[in-house]
């Protein structure tokens, strides 16, 4: 029967495996995959906030705050106060952050291609479709 298999475990297993695949490739940059995702999102938005990154990355506010810490500590990300709203912190890439992202981006891109070759485009399409469904049906909080 269909519920012999746990959908949650299945997704978590997949997530662990794909993470190790990317982690292995990105290791030469010193970045973890979660950190790369943050740099990529900040590179895209240029100037952003904790709040905005939360919705892009589908991360809890407290998780994101902590995940930013190593990147701020190592000065890949800069923080600046918002000119009008004292609660906000404007997050952007530092020069070394930009440089690091630009070094990592082609490695990430090649990893994407290699994964696609390895598991097939049907499967990679399936990953994107699933994420879309999940964010739409479970991602409103």
Q: At what angle do helices 33-45 and 7-26 cross, to 10 degrees?
A: 80
Find the binding residues for DNA in span 77-106 (CB under 7 A). Answer: 84-89
Tokens 């990317």 belong to residue: 22
Distance of CA 105 to the CA centre of its chain: 13
**Which residue's structure tokens are 């495996």?**
17
Q: Considering beta carbons, is residue 66 or 117 the nearer one to DNA?
A: 66
Contacting range for a second copy; rule: CB under 8 A; set: 67-75, 81-89, 90-98, 120-128? 120-128
Region near a second copy per CB under 8 A, out of 64-72, 74-82, 83-91, 104-112: 104-112
Are 25 and 107 in contact by the 8 Å Cβ rule? The answer is yes
Non-local CB neighbours of 91 within 8 Å, separated by 6+ positions: 42, 47, 48, 49, 50, 53, 68, 77, 78, 79
Which residues in the 1-60 window bind a second copy by CB under 8 A? Answer: 1-22, 33-34, 37, 40-41, 44, 57-59
Where along the sequence are the contacts to a second copy (CB under 8 A)? 1-22, 33-34, 37, 40-41, 44, 57-59, 108-109, 111-113, 115-116, 118-121, 123-124, 126-131, 133-135, 137-139
Q: Which residues lie near DNA (CB under 7 A)? A: 12, 16, 19-20, 23-24, 32-35, 49-51, 59-63, 65-68, 70, 84-89
């Amino acid at each position: 029967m269909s519920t012999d298999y746990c959908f949650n475990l299945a997704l978590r297993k997949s997530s662990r495996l794909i993470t190790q695949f990317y982690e292995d490739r990105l290791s030469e940059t010193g970045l973890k995959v979660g950190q790369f995702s943050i740099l990529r999102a900040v590179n895209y938005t240029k100037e952003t906030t904790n709040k905005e990154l939360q919705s892009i990355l589908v991360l809890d506010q407290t998780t994101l705050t902590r995940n930013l810490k190593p990147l701020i500590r190592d000065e890949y990300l800069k923080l600046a106060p918002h000119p009008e709203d004292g609660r906000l912190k404007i997050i952007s890439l530092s020069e070394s952050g930009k440089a690091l992202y630009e070094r990592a981006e082609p490695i990430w891109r090649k990893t994407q291609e290699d994964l696609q070759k390895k598991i097939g485009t049907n499967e990679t399409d399936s990953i994107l479709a699933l994420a879309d469904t999940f964010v739409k049906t479970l991602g409103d909080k």
